[in-house]
Chain A
Amino acid sequence: MTPTWVQLANLLAAVLFIFALKGLSSPKSARNGNLLGAAGAVLATAVLFVSGIPLSNILLILAAVLIGSAIGWISARKVQMTQMPQLVALFNGVGGGAAALVAVIEYLEVGGENKISLAATVFTVVIGSVSFSGSIITFLKLQELMTSRPVIIPAGKWVTMLVAALTVVGAVWLVISPQIWLLVALLVLSLIFGMLFVLPVGGADVPIVISLLNAFTGLSVAASGYVLNNVLLIIAGTLVGASGTLLTKEMAKAMGRPITSTLFGAFSGTTAGNTSTGGDRPVRSGGPNDVAIMLGFANKVILVPGYGLAVAQAQGTLRELADLLTERGVEVDYAIHPVAGRMPGHMNVLLAEASVPYEQLKEMDDINPEFATTDVVLVVGANDVVNPAARTDKSAPIYGMPILNVDQAQQVVFLKRSMRPGFAGIENEILYDQKTMLLFGDAKDSLNKVVSALKNL
C-alpha cells in the first residue's frame, strides 16, 4: 500500500491547498496563497513519482505531464487579460474531462465488483462530462465563436428534461448491471446534457455558470478520489466543490437574482423585452470637444468602465483622463459594478493592470448614493450594468440585477462604438434621455481625442 511518508506528504499538500483558498480570500495574501497552492500541487505530483509505487508506461506519463504543463503554462502566459474568463472556463472544462476519463479507465481496469465504488465512478463520469461540454460551450460563448444570446431550442425544456432523465436512468442501470456500451451511452448523454444546460444561458449570466461548473468539476474530482482511494483528491475536490458552490451563490447575489432563474430563466422563452423601438429614435450625439468641456468644468465626475473599455485596451487612456481631471481639481471616482467585465472582479483586474490606484475604485454600494450629487457620469464601454430596465422592466432578462444609478446624475456621457445593445441584448432607455450625450467611436480613439481636447481647454 501507499507508504506512510507519501501519505504525510499528501496531507501537507492538502493543508497547502486550504491555505491557498484562505489566502485567495484577502487581497494582501492572495498571491502568496496561490503560490502555496502551486507548491502543494508540485509536492503531491513529485512524491507520486518517487513513492516507489510501481508505475508502468512511465516515459509516456512523463512526456504527457511535460507537454500538458507546457500547453497550460504558455496559454496562461499569452492570454490577453480581457480573454482570461474564457481561458478559466476552458481550464475548468479540461479538468472535468480529465476526471471523467480517470473514472472510465478505472472502470475498464477494475470493472464493477464493488457497487459503492462503481456508483462513485459513474458519478464522476457524469459530472465530469457535464462540466467538460458545458465549459466548452461557455468558452465558445465568451470567445464569441457562437452567439452570446440565450440559445432557445424548440421544446428545449422537454428535450433537456428527457436527456436528464435518461442520464439518471442510465447511471442507475449501469451501477446495477455494469456493461461497457452503457458506459459509452452514459458518457454521450452527459456530454449532451452539459451542452443543453448551458446553451439557454444568456451572456451576462455566463460567469455564474462557469463558477457552478467549477464546483461540479471539484465534486467529480472528489468522487474520483473515492474511486482511487486517494485522500488528497477527495480533500482538494471537495474544497473546490464547497467553495465553488458558495462563490456561485455570492455571484448570483451580486447579480441580484436567484441561481435558479439564471439557469432556467431562458427556458421560459422570455427573450429581450422591448427591442422593437431600435435605431430610428433620436439620440443626442456630441464631439470630443463637447465631452471635454463637460468634464473639465464639472465638480464631480464618476467614470463607469465596462468590458468595451477593456476590449479597446483603453484602460491606460482612461487613467490619463482621470489624472488630467484630478489636476484640474475635479473629483474623480471609478464606479465598479460587481459584474463589470465578464466576471465578478474582472474589471478590478483590468484597471489594476493600468495602475489605477486601488483607492479610486468604488464598489457599487458605496458609489450609488453619490450619483445624485454628480455632475457628469462618463460611461465607457458599459451598458447592461447601467440599464434601468433592470429596475423597471419585468420582461428584461436582467430584471432584478442591481445597477449603477447613473440615471440620477446631472448629465451622462456614453462612449459607444454603435447603438448595438450590450452583452445581454437589451435596449437601454438612458441612451435616449435628454441629459445623455453619445460619443461614437472606438473607446481608445474617443478617449484620446477627449484627452487632447481637455489639454487645450
Chain B
Amino acid sequence: MDGVALLTIFILSIFVGFEVVSKVSTVLHTPLMSGANAIHGIVLIGAITVTGSATNPLEITLGVIAILLGAINLVGGFVVTDRMLEMFKPKKPVARSDDGGAA
C-alpha cells in the first residue's frame, strides 16, 4: 500500500483513538490502560511475520525473543484486564433500599 494511504489510516486512527476514550470515569482508568496495553501486544503478528522470513541464526534468535515478548504482552494483557473487570460484575440492586434506610 502506498505511503499516503497508510498516512491516511494513521491520522484517522488518531481521531478514533481520542474519540473512543473520551469521558471515561476514573474508576475505569486502570482497566482501560491495561486493555490498551493488551491491544498493542498485537505486535506479535509483526514478530511472527519477520521471523517467518528470517534467514540467519541472529535474525531467527531475535525473532523468537520478539515473539515470546509479544505473546506475553498480548495474552497476559487481556487476561489481567479480564481479571480486573471480573470484579465489576453487576450485583443485585439491594443498595437502593439500604440508601433509603440510612437516610
Give the B-binding residues of A (Cβ under 8 A): 13, 17-18, 20-22, 24-28, 30-31, 33-35, 37-38, 41, 44-45, 48, 53-58, 60-61, 64-69, 71-73, 75-77, 79, 81, 84-85, 87-88, 91-92, 94-95, 97-99, 101-102, 104-106, 108-109, 116, 210-211, 214, 217-218, 221-222, 224-226, 228-244, 246-247, 250-251, 254, 326, 329, 331-332, 338, 343-346, 348-349, 352-353, 355, 357-361, 363
Contacts and interface: CB of A to CB of B under 8 A. Distances in A.
Residue among B15, B28, B84, B90 facing the most chain A CB atoms (10 A cut-off): B84
Contacts, number: 379
A211 B50 contact: no
Given A98-B69, A101-B66, A238 B48 contact: no
A211 B33 contact: yes
B42 A233 contact: yes
A248 to B, nearest CB: 9
| Chain B contact residues: helix, strand, loop or mixed | helix
A73 B40 contact: no
A66 B83 CA distance: 21
Interface in B32-88: 32-55, 58-60, 62-88
Given A68-B68, A225-B46, A238-B13, A56 B53 contact: yes
| Chain A contact residues: helix, strand, loop or mixed | helix
Shortest beta-carbon contacts, A-B, top 6: A68-B71, A242-B17, A72-B76, A55-B52, A238-B13, A344-B29
Interface residues of B, number: 86
A221 B43 contact: yes
Contacts of A346: 30
B21 A243 contact: yes
A85 to B, nearest CB: 8
Given A72-B71, A102-B47, A240 B39 contact: yes
